Amino acid sequence: MAEKNVVLGITGGIAVYKVPDLVSRLRKKGFNVDVIMTKSATEFVTPLTFREVSRNPVHTEMFANPVQWNVAHIALAKKADLIAIVPATANIIAKLATGIADDLLTATLLAARCPKLIAPAMNSGMYNNPACQRNLKQLADDGFVIVGPDSGHLLCGDEGVGRLASLDEIEINIQKLLSTQDFINETVLITAGGTREAIDPVRFIGNRSSGKMGHALAEAAFKRGAKVILISTSPDAPRYAGMEVYGVESTAQMRDQVLSLASRATIIIKAAAPADFRPASVAQGKIKKTSAGMDLSLVINPDILLELGRNKRSGQILIGFAAETDSLSKNARDKLERKNLDLIVGNRVADAMGTECNKVTVFSKTNAIDLLESPKPIVADQILDLVIKYRMDGTLSE
Ligand code: CTP
């Protein structure tokens, strides 16, 4: 990704203490971050902290001596691909709603033409005040993307609405505003994680799949504009406003959930590792150990992808995964044919399961594209690039 410039406006609320972490996350994602702090924000955390995490000078003054000659607010407004205000106080919200430009941050915002995001954080009384609600509505009408606030325990001691949205939620919305919306017309159903098949109320049969690849695909599709339906076995599944997320445990539950939602999907990606077998019966009470050991009788589970392939509707793209220890290409191509798939993502078990990185080959009926070993979020974006190419040309070749 070419480096994008995020101008991060920080205003004076206690939630400022969370923002250095956001700057550091954005830098790790490859964004350049220029911080503007209001005077009140500097009372909570010093500019030095933000200088160090952003590795850029921090802007606090409208009339500071420039290092190079420029008009600070115009230069920052032109440079910004996105301006985010985190946290946004009731005061900045009121100023922006009326177009006041009495400091560097408000003047920059008024001059900027890029997308703008605000993450409000304040006491519930202030947030629910009709003046604040009126101002937020005005900002939404003016095109600002408003993220949060969440409800819960507030640092002032109250319970209620007004907590800064999670950094995950703010980060994905920043990424979304900076991403090409090439999945805007797609509804993508993704499954993730290994299923658990109960033996008794305590024990289960499972596998090593963590769900990370499926979750990375869900996040990538979401930021590229897709309507995302995620069905995951993992408690770590991402949960963003606007993403539909369903938790399941067994292959049977996953099958029921997938089949009830599949007709809405234009693309289905089955990244999950459903167990192929389940215990023939589930003991009601905990099975007591005996010195004689124990035999476990297993029966075969339904193959969800096979059923999806049989009932594929016209225009729906069906993508499977194949985790193999041997003969990757042959096994992946067999599954592509047998399950009536458009694409299959093949990987070796040792390269994929439970790891942060993945090395995959994407097969269509006529092509095989090797992707370089990379962190799963990058692999997810590259897989989606191939899916969009396949959607446009019906092939993966150049
Ligand atoms: N899959 C499925 N339902 C199952 C088993 C697998 O939908 N009961 C899907 C997986 O989500 C994956 C693809 O089928 O997208 C291939 O899974 P895999 O376990 O590699 O293949 P199997 O068909 O189970 O074959 P085998 O275990 O013999 O390799």
pLDDT tens track for 132-186 = 999 999 999 999 999 999 998 887 788 899 999 999 999 999 999 999 999 999 9
Q: Which ligand 1 atom is at minimum distance from the Cα of 272?
A: 11
Question: Which of 326, 398, 394 is CA-nearest to residue 365?
Answer: 394
Which helix (H) or strand (E) is 53 found in, with range? helix 47-54
Closest residue by CA, ligand 1 atom 24: 276
From CA 56, how far away is CA 34, in angstroms rounded? 6
Domain regions of the chain by residue span: 5-177, 187-393
Q: Which CATH class is domain 5-177?
A: alpha beta
pTM exceeding the 0.75 threshold for the entire prediction: yes
Q: Ligand 1 mean position to 75 CA, how many Å?
A: 54
Q: Which CATH class is domain 187-393?
A: alpha beta
251 lines ligand 1 (CB under 6 A): yes
Residue 229 CA from chain centroid, whole number: 12
Determine the pLDDT at residue 11. 97
Q: Ligand 1 mean position to 186 CA, how many Å?
A: 24
Determine the pLDDT at residue 72. 67
Asked if residue 375 lies in contact with residue 357, where contact means CB atoms within 8 angstroms, the answer is: yes
Residue 279 has pLDDT above 90, yes or no: yes
Burial of 282 (0-12, 13-18, 19+ CB in 10 A): middle
From CA 227, how far away is CA 268, in angstroms rounded? 12
272 lines ligand 1 (CB under 6 A): yes
Give the pLDDT mean for 282-302.
Answer: 93
179 lines ligand 1 (CB under 6 A): no
Q: Ligand 1 mean position to 179 CA, how many Å?
A: 32
Question: Which of 121, 97, 94, 109 is CA-nearest to residue 36?
Answer: 109
Is 132 catalytic? The answer is no
Pocket test for ligand 1, best of 230, 267, 270 (most atoms within 8 A of CB): 270
307 lines ligand 1 (CB under 6 A): no
Q: Ligand 1 mean position to 248 CA, how many Å?
A: 17
Establish whether domains 5-177 and 187-393 are of one fold.
yes
* pLDDT tens digit sequence for 230-256: 999 999 999 999 999 999 999 999 999
Rounded mean pLDDT of the chain?
94
Q: Which residues of 15-42 are buried (b: 16+ CB within 10 A; e: fewer)?
A: bbebbbebbebbbeeebbbbbbbbeebb
